[in-house]
């Protein structure tokens, strides 16, 4: 998607809302808000309330408060109150869990449209693990490391979260199967790949990122603007 003034995007490699996620303070500054709207949809079958509690503890230490948006099923993504909350948000954070469930709930929904409107209006959008995978298009399929459709907030890019814990074999398979011209980015846990409003990319947090393009190592210059 493109827009005149999109907000910052943070694609996080997993283990979100922990001490070494130093970029969260930067994101609060970019959002110019002390409220974070947390979407635990991907953890719908894994005690999503715990994700909200973890985020609440983490952001309280940064002087911010968390509002959990409990969109757990497809009908929830059409709820007018949830949609309005998303549209008004200045900092949206999508947690980890199942990327396939997250995609099925958000795809072509009123909530997804509201998220796009918020982002194009300058809101910060952060997404970790499953969330980071789903925000891009194409999306790495967690069932086998091949590729499938993502939601396409960021197009022509694919994300491998938890890169520091992936096996060499799985990484090799994903890189080999990547469509021509599509960068594949492996992001370590507690690490963010940040896209600023002007389209530039940088890395922040505890670990590193690894970029591959056409089966070869590359750098951040290979990523779409």
Q: 93 to each of 90, 139, 148, 212, 224, how far by Cα in Å?
A: 10, 19, 23, 26, 22
pLDDT in the model for residue 45? 95
pLDDT band at 2 (very low <50, low <70, confident <90, very high): very low
Kindly state whether residue 3 falls inside one of the protein's structural domains. no
Residue 1 reports pLDDT greater than 60 = no
Q: What percent of the chain has pLDDT over 90?
A: 91
pLDDT band at 167 (very low <50, low <70, confident <90, very high): confident
Domain count, the chain: 1
**Which residues pair with residue 136 across a beta bridge?**
154
Query: Whole-model pTM above 0.75?
Result: yes
Kindly state whether residue 224 falls inside one of the protein's structural domains. no
Kindly state whether residue 85 falls inside one of the protein's structural domains. yes
Is residue 31 within 8 Å of residue 69, measured between CB atoms? no
Q: Two tokens at 171?
A: 């990484």
Q: Domain holding 96: CATH number?
A: 3.40.50.880
Is residue 102 within 8 Å of residue 132, measured between CB atoms? no
Kindly state whether residue 62 falls inside one of the protein's structural domains. yes
Residue 3 reports pLDDT greater than 50 = no
Over range 100-105, report the average pLDDT: 97
Kindly state whether residue 115 falls inside one of the protein's structural domains. yes
Kindly state whether residue 138 falls inside one of the protein's structural domains. yes
Residue 158 reports pLDDT greater than 80 = yes
- For residue 86, give every residue at least 6 positions away whose Cβ sits within 8 Å of its Cβ, in sequence order, or none: 37, 69, 92, 111, 114, 115, 118
Kindly state whether residue 223 falls inside one of the protein's structural domains. no
Over range 86-93, report the average pLDDT: 98
Over range 3-14, report the average pLDDT: 88
Residue 4 reports pLDDT greater than 70 = no
Kindly state whether residue 164 falls inside one of the protein's structural domains. yes
pLDDT in the model for residue 65? 98
Q: 125 to each of 39, 82, 117, 175, 181, how far by Cα in Å?
A: 11, 16, 11, 26, 25
Find the domain containing 186 and state its range.
Answer: 9-216
């Amino acid at each position: 998607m493109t827009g005149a003034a999109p907000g910052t995007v943070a694609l996080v490699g997993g283990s979100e809302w922990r001490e070494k996620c130093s970029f969260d303070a930067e994101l609060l500054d970019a959002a110019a808000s002390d409220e974070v709207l947390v979407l635990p949809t991907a953890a719908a079958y894994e005690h999503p309330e715990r994700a909200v509690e973890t985020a609440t503890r983490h952001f309280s230490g940064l002087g911010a408060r968390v509002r959990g948006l409990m969109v757990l099923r497809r009908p929830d993504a059409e709820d007018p109150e949830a949609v309005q909350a998303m549209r008004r948000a200045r900092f949206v954070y999508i947690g980890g869990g199942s990327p396939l469930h997250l995609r099925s709930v958000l795809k072509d929904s009123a909530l997804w449209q509201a998220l796009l409107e918020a982002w194009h209006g300058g809101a910060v959008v952060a997404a970790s693990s499953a969330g980071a995978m789903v925000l891009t298009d194409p999306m790495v399929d967690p069932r086998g490391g091949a590729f499938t459709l993502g939601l396409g907030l960021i197009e022509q890019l694919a994300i491998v979260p938890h890169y520091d814990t992936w096996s060499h074999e799985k990484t090799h398979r994903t890189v080999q199967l990547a469509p021509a011209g599509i960068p594949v980015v492996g992001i370590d846990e507690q690490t963010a790949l940040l896209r600023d409003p002007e389209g530039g990319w940088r890395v922040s947090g505890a670990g590193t990122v690894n970029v591959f393009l056409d089966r070869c190592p590359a750098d951040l210059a290979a990523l779409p603007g």
